[in-house]
Amino acid sequence: MLKELDPLLHSQLRLGVMSLLISVDSAEFTWLREKTNSTAGNLSVQLDKLSEAGYLSIEKSFKGKKPLTTCRITKKGLKAFEEYVNSLKDYIKT
Amino acid sequence: MLKELDPLLHSQLRLGVMSLLISVDSAEFTWLREKTNSTAGNLSVQLDKLSEAGYLSIEKSFKGKKPLTTCRITKKGLKAFEEYVNSLKDYIKT
DNA sequence: TAATTTTGGTTTATACTATAAACTATTTTA
DNA sequence: TAAAATAGTTTATAGTATAAACCAAAATTA
């Protein structure tokens, strides 16, 4: 029987964000936006969802005088990501 | 830059169906329903979508006196699946 | 044999989701 | 100082996944 896929991660943009975050210490909102090629609004919403789930932490500060949103994957997020990938493998092994 | 993920395949149930279909010659509705652990209604809708996209073919016949829906992946479907998996790899390589 | 349940689905209503458009506040530029 | 750019957030909407409701026939049961 095929496993369930964490619906929070089974979304192109959120998965992209998590994927990017696992390979860096932290990432700025604007960088994530560029890398995922998403709109700011969509990214903002999806970051909130991941944050509320405890999959990433968001820190709001300033870079000079401009707002700066910094994201970091959490332990919980990493675990969820790994589990998701693991479940997904059943679906994509050809 | 992360690639687009074919939205038709980026759905748990549809991906599950396609995943099952690549390893068999053909599959009956009821078998797909059991394997994916889905409701008949949901499966019916998702099969229609895959069929309309040309990703699978649906043949309706009778097994004895009972209706029988048989599904087969198409060449187009196989190609789309392979492309999806390929794109997905960028997201999940850890 | 009449009523009930099961089988094998389809159609449809609804709740949820992703997404972009509209907006805010500040800063930079012309 | 007016206009445009930056760095986002909020919100409206279109699209999607899903199950509930439904249908017809067959099988079972009483």
Contact call for B36 and A2, based on CB within 8 A: yes
Task: Round to whole Å and give the CA distance between A45 and A40.
Answer: 9
Closest nucleotide to A64 by C1' from CA: C27
pTM above 0.75, yes or no: yes
Beta bridge partners of residue B63, listed in sequence order: B66
Any strand D atom closer than 7 Å to B38 CB: yes
Domain parsing of chain B, residue ranges = 12-93
Give the pLDDT of residue B49: 96
Task: Inform me whether the C-beta atom of residue A86 falls under 8 Å from chain B C-beta atoms.
Answer: no
pLDDT value at B90 more than 80 = yes
Residue pair B53/B8 in contact by the 8 Å Cβ criterion: yes
For residue B59, the Cα-to-chain-centroid distance in whole angstroms is 14
- B31 vs A contacts (CB less than 8 Å): none
DSSP alpha helices (H): ranges in chain A? Answer: 12-21, 29-36, 40-52, 75-92
Residue type, A5: L
pLDDT digits (tens, 9 = 90+) for B31-82: 999 999 999 999 999 999 999 999 999 999 999 989 999 999 999 999 999 9
Any strand D atom closer than 7 Å to B40 CB: yes
Give the pLDDT of residue A65: 87
pLDDT value at B18 more than 90 = yes
Task: Round to whole Å and give the CA distance between B9 and B30.
Answer: 21
Contact call for A2 and B91, based on CB within 8 A: no
User: pLDDT by residue for chain A (94 residues), tens digit each?
Assistant: 889 999 999 999 999 999 999 999 999 999 999 999 999 999 999 999 999 999 999 999 999 889 999 999 999 999 999 999 999 999 998 7
Domain B12-93 coded CATH 1.10.10.10: yes
Strand C contact nucleotides, protein CB < 7 Å: 7-12, 17-22, 26-28
Any strand D atom closer than 7 Å to B13 CB: yes
Mean pLDDT calculated for residue range B10-24: 96
Give the pLDDT of residue B94: 75
Give the pLDDT of residue B70: 98
Give the pLDDT of residue B80: 97
